[in-house]
Structure 1
Amino acid sequence: MKIDQEEMQPWQWPEQEWRRRVNRVRAGRRLRPKSWRDGARFAVALAFDSDHETNELRDGAKSVNRLAWGQYGHRVGVPRALSMLERNGVTASFYVPAVTALLYPDEQREIVKAGHEIGVHGWIHELNSGLRLEDERDLIRRSIDTLETVTGVRPTGYRSPSGDFSQNTLQLLRELGFAYDSSMAADDDCYELTMDGEPTGLVELPFDWVRDDAVYFLMHRFQGLRPYTSPSDVFDIFKRELEGAHAEGGLFELTMHPHVITNRSRLWIIEEIIKYAKALPGGVWFARHDEVVQFALQNSAAND
């Protein structure tokens, strides 16, 4: 009797099956320019995932306390982040679930007005790997339309909620006209995504959990998730990642969350990172994710 491969254990898969799964979404050609805009030695791309209440809404909205924590991201986090960015003269990218945009439309308009990018971050911070193809397509499409309606700008970038990329996500991003994704971590620099062994023309601007504030600070009172790292230690980790990008002439991408990083004891981390990057020799280019992607695609050494 033939066994359906979906019912098999991974150790039972024939070689063709595990190769198929590995090759569905892969890193293709690396897109690192010889130098960055205006001859800068390296680039810094700051990102804020404006999850706000959607993490708890996705899980059933059972905890009013966690909904309040999400609201902190709107009431305190985003205003502090915007003020800090303006004070230091840098731009950033904000990845926004559609439900966040519907709850706080004026916040999104203020972000765009300040010169920052807004990208798609799901509908209600759903997990893509648990969705049927048609449901994932519908949620991404509605998210694009919602952000465009709220901000007047159609988003070109996508970041999957919780970095959860399904077997269908890349196919849908191509179908729906995205220029880039920022959900995966197959490299430190931008690269072209391939699907089933074929180049897609869609760029990945990788993030990594080591450069994400949530893994050091995010906690859940009723679960085993209670990490805590000293802000000075987190700064040291980010600083060393930054120094590595500078040494290689590459990209330093940093992902943060307004309800996590903007506490009074933590916000200084970002500001010190910005100041330190500006002081390094050779120059630094601070850019939105969409700007980095466009520059890397047009100026990559892989094009020579």
Structure 2
Amino acid sequence: MTEQQPWQWDEETWRGHVARVRAGRSLHPASWPGGARVAVALSFDCDHETIALRAGETGPGKLAQGEYGSRVGARRVLRLLERFGAPASFFMPAVSALLHPEEVRDYVAAGHEVAMHGWIHESNALLEPADERDLALRAADTLEKLSGTRPVGIRTPAWDFSDHTLAITREMGLLYDSSLMADDEPYELLADGEPTGVVEIPVEWIRDDVPYLLLEFDGMLRACPPPREVAGIWRDEFDAALDERGLFQLTMHPQVIGHRSRMAALRELLEHIDAQKGVWYATHAQIAQYVLQQDA
């Protein structure tokens, strides 16, 4: 039997696809801790060498680009966060953590969160459900062993959310996910219309450094905007979140943002944020815990 094309689907079919994972109730709190006007959730995806490895690329050149993220970028990021007293969430593929265990320890020692980001930055949608589950469990075990704490949150590699990801997330008892884009504010995930209790800390490509600053994309070199122009977009995003008393969430990568000119732009952004009154810097786990408490 020939597989139906989407335009041939009946209403039950297309509604079923849409309802599988959906945004539920908003978890935008009436106020943030201490009367803060905005919550700032900085995050860094520590992909490092796994971007090359997951594609089977083992040449020293590609791997060196990834190594830069741990050897140089992550250290710069930690110094900048320390300057502003800003806790952040570091999402690490387990293979990155195994390659750089000292990096994991540095994050923990500085009071940051270490959270899940796959095993080797695999594409979940290409995996069989059993393989996706196995890799998720192995990743959680690895991060727990290296960090001393079981991770409570997940960001799927490349935000690739399969039909089975939410079920695995729930089975593992994770507090939150940070892979989806249905809102600017935290919300509860629904599975086939049913509340799950899992908090979504939404991401967006607008608030990610890769679309703007990754020089090589799909095997081609491209021109990138000046880092300060990118930081200007993020500044506008923050200012709007401040006006709405909402959440400003930002996703970065040490191997991308960690270069000198880009760190200068990030520093200026944090200087702008820090100059405002009523800013609460928090990890993604802290955000999820807080909004659930306020909703209880």
- Which of the five TM-score ranges fits, normalised by the shorter chain? over 0.9
**In structure 2, what is the equivalent of residue 91 of structure 1?**
87
Q: Distance in 1 between matches of 2:221 and 2:205?
A: 15
By how many angstroms is 1:63 displaced? 3.6
> Of 198, 213, 216, which residue of structure 2 is paired with 1:217?
213
Change (3 A) 1:221 1:18: closer
| 2:118 equivalent to 1:122 | yes
Task: Report the counterpart of residue 12 of structure 2 in structure 1.
Answer: 16
User: Of the candidates 222, 225, 229, which is equivalent to residue 229 of structure 1?
Assistant: 225
Q: Following superposition, which runs of at least 4 residues in structure 1 exceed 4 angstroms of deviation?
A: none
Which residues of structure 1 form unaligned runs of 5+? none
2:290 is aligned, of 270, 291, 295, to: 295
Aligned to 1:178: 174
Structure 1 residues 132-141 or 220-229, which shifts more? 220-229
Deviation at 1:280, TM superposition (A): 2.2
Residue 188, structure 1, aligned to residue 184, structure 2: yes
| Residue 280 (structure 2) aligns with | 285
Give aligned-pair identity as a percent.
Answer: 52
Shift of 1:226: 2.4
* Distance in 1 separating the partners of 2:142 and 2:229: 38
Residues 34 and 254 from structure 1, CA distance in 2 versus in 1: closer, same or farther, beyond 3 angstroms?
same
SS at match of 1:265: helix
How many Å apart are 1:176 and its aligned residue? Answer: 1.0
In the TM superposition, residue 227 of structure 1 has moved relative to its aligned partner by 4.7
Which secondary structure state, in structure 2, belongs to the residue aligned with residue 200 of structure 1? strand
TM alignment of 1:94-173, pairs within 5 A: 94-173=90-169
Give the CA deviation at 1:9.
1.2
What code does the residue aligned with 1:297 have? L
Number of residue pairs aligned between Structure 1 and Structure 2? 296
Deviations 1:125-163 (A, max 9, x none): 000000110000000000000000111110000000001
* Structure 2 residue aligned with 1:254: 250
So what's the TM-score if we normalise by structure 1?
0.95
Higher mean displacement: 229-238 or 120-129: 229-238
- Identify the range of structure 1 (117-126 vs 105-114) with the bigger mean alpha-carbon deviation: 105-114
CA deviations on 1:253-281 (whole Å, 9 max, x unpaired) are: 00000000011101022222222112224
Instruction: Please state how far the C-alpha of 1:244 moved relative to its aligned partner.
Output: 0.6
1:182-234, CA deviations, whole angstroms, 9 ceiling, x for partnerless residues?
A: 00110000000000000000000001100000010113277236251111210
Q: Secondary structure at the match of 2:225?
A: coil
Check whether the contact 1:218–1:227 (CA below 8 A) recurs between aligned residues: no
CA distance in 1, matches of 2:58, 2:217: 13
Quote the Cα distance in structure 1 between the aligned partners of 2:90 and 2:217: 27
Contact 2:84 2:274 in 1 (8 A): no
Distance 2:15 2:58 in 1: 41
> Which of 54, 76, 94 matches 2:72?
76
Structure 2 spans left out of the alignment, 5+ residues: none
Q: Distance in 2 between matches of 1:13 and 1:183?
A: 27
